[in-house]
Homo-oligomer: A and B are copies of this chain.
Amino acid sequence: MSRETRADARLRITNEIMEAARRQLGEVGAAGLSLREIAREIGMVSSAVYRYVDSRDDLLTRLIIDAYDALGDVAERAASAPADTDLGRWTATASAIRRWAIAHPHEYQLLYGSPVPGYAAPDDTVGPGIRVVVALARIVGEAARHERLAAPGEPLGDLTPQLADDLRALADAVPDPFPADATTVLAFVVGWSQLFGLLSFELTNQTRGYVGDDADLFDAAARRVGHQIGLR
């Protein structure tokens, strides 16, 4: 009988806790997540769990990072998969995000729903948090660098100079900066927020029964906003 070293036991038990936490998150959501129930599941007394987790908020933070990483993987993988067109790459990535959200609604709500009670996102979460928007931006940037980005359709000359500057600066702030005019970046922000807005509506049933097939609606919307960014 080989004895288990204490460090190994710590890793194993921490994993058990996180697994139970993820299971519970998937079943009852973040608000219903109970440290005592987790302890019960893995056959420990509740106070012992605090040897591995600082607090409920600490556990939530880890779950958020996990979820951001999972969704980030999905988005990055979809965004770097072979695609015939830039627009096809965009819609495929959007669809992949949607599929993940529908498969993991509680995780999605944890990331994009109301902030949990008095929970303030620590800085650890912003890193993984921006992966998905960066993945989307990279699609646009790639197209822009290859001069495949259509010029913004209708020129709306009504951006304030300050806003236009800020928007242009955004295109330089991503990991792979690309040349873009303010309207294009605005279209991207519009498209990005639109994807998550529609997705949140679908998940919270705000669009109950609007159309027969929500996936078709989402795809059409994604294609539309992608097109308006200039992707072809």
Question: Which residue of B193, B208, B220 contacts A186 across the interface (Cβ within 8 Å)?
Answer: B220
Given that A190-B194, A194-B190 are known contacts, is A115 also in contact with B204, CB under 8 Å in the complex?
yes
Please encode chain A, from 207 to 232, with 1 for each CB lying within 8 Å of some chain B CB and 0 for all others. Answer: 11011110011001101110110000
Give the 5 A-B residue pairs with the shortest CB-CB distance, closest first.
Answer: A197-B197, A113-B114, A31-B117, A193-B197, A166-B211
Number of interface residues of A (CB under 8 A): 58
What are the residues of chain B within 8 A of A170 when measuring CB–CB? 210-211
- Which one of B112, B193, B206 contacts A221 once the chains associate, using CB atoms below 8 Å? B193
Bound form: Cα–Cα A112–B115 in Å: 12
Complex Cα spacing A190 to B51, Å: 48
Oligomer: number of copies: 2
Residues of A within 8 A of B (CB): 28-32, 109-110, 112-118, 121, 126, 129, 153-154, 156, 158-160, 162-163, 166-167, 170, 186-187, 189-190, 193-198, 200-201, 204-208, 210-213, 216-217, 220-221, 223-225, 227-228
Q: Which B residue sits closest to A119, measured CB to CB? A: B31
Q: Could you list 20 further interchain pairs (A-B, Cβ under 8 angstroms) beyond the known A112-B206, A166-B210?
A: A29-B118, A30-B114, A31-B118, A109-B114, A113-B114, A113-B115, A114-B204, A115-B204, A156-B220, A156-B223, A156-B224, A159-B216, A159-B220, A162-B216, A163-B213, A163-B217, A186-B224, A187-B224, A193-B201, A197-B198
Smallest CB–CB gap between A201 and chain B, Å? 5
Q: Which residues of B contact A223 (CB under 8 A)?
A: 156, 158
Task: List the B side residues contacting A224 at CB < 8 Å.
Answer: 156, 186-187, 190
**A205 — nearest CB in chain B belongs to which residue?**
B121
Q: Are B116 and A211 in contact (CB under 8 A)?
A: no
Once bound together, how far apart are the Cα atoms of A180 and B225, in whole Å?
20
Are B193 and A198 in contact (CB-based, < 8 A)? yes
In the assembled complex, 13 residue pairs joining A and B whose CB atoms fall closer than 8 Å, in A order, are A31-B116, A32-B118, A112-B204, A160-B220, A162-B212, A162-B213, A166-B210, A186-B217, A189-B198, A189-B207, A190-B224, A193-B221, A228-B228
